[in-house]
Amino acid sequence: MAPVAASLDDPLTRALAPPPNETAEERERRLLAEQEARKHSEQIDEEINQERLAAKKNPKPVKILLLGQSESGKSTTLKNFQLMASPKAFKAERIIWRAVIQLNVVRSIHLILDTLTDIHEAQLHLQSSSASPNMRPGTAQPYSPPDTATARHARSTSFSSTFSSTLASLPQLTPEHLRL
């Protein structure tokens, strides 16, 4: 009997013990509440065990630190890793990127057409200046070449003048070439 007396001295045992003046109805309610609490606790334990098993089945995520200079391909490498891991995720993004790709294509076509127009205008300028070497194109005034420093600066900054030496070897462009 000594062990029972020792367990009653424990504060936790006293807190969990039923009240000494408990009626039969109170005892029945307490036992039902304990049973509900036990079921709830077992459900929580089961959920924890299922989460633990799911975590063991699924591989742990790998964290990668991509270092490198700008434009060295870090984003491309990351996208390739993601594509290998979950290709379905990129099918949803495909619709979003379609407009960006179309805009880039249109922008590139405009750049090509602008370049062709510049080359065509430069060819016309060369033809008109070769037809009358001492006259300014479109005017009746004599043409005088700019000084060498100005000419050097104009050649280095103007896109069409950088190609002036190769324009003579290019085929003649017509307005039909510029039509879409």
Residues in binding site for GTP: 71-76
Q: Which structure tokens are listed for 92?
A: 């949803």
From 135, 131, 136, 126, select the one nearest 167 (Cα to Cα): 126
Binding-site sequence positions: 71-76
- Which residues, in sequence order, are bridge partners of residue 44? none
Binding-site sequence positions for Mg(2+): 75
Rounded to an integer, what distance in angstroms lies between the CA atom of residue 116 and that of residue 172?
Answer: 12
Q: Which structure tokens are listed for 161?
A: 């003048």
- CB within 8 Å of 8: residues ≥ 6 apart: 14, 17
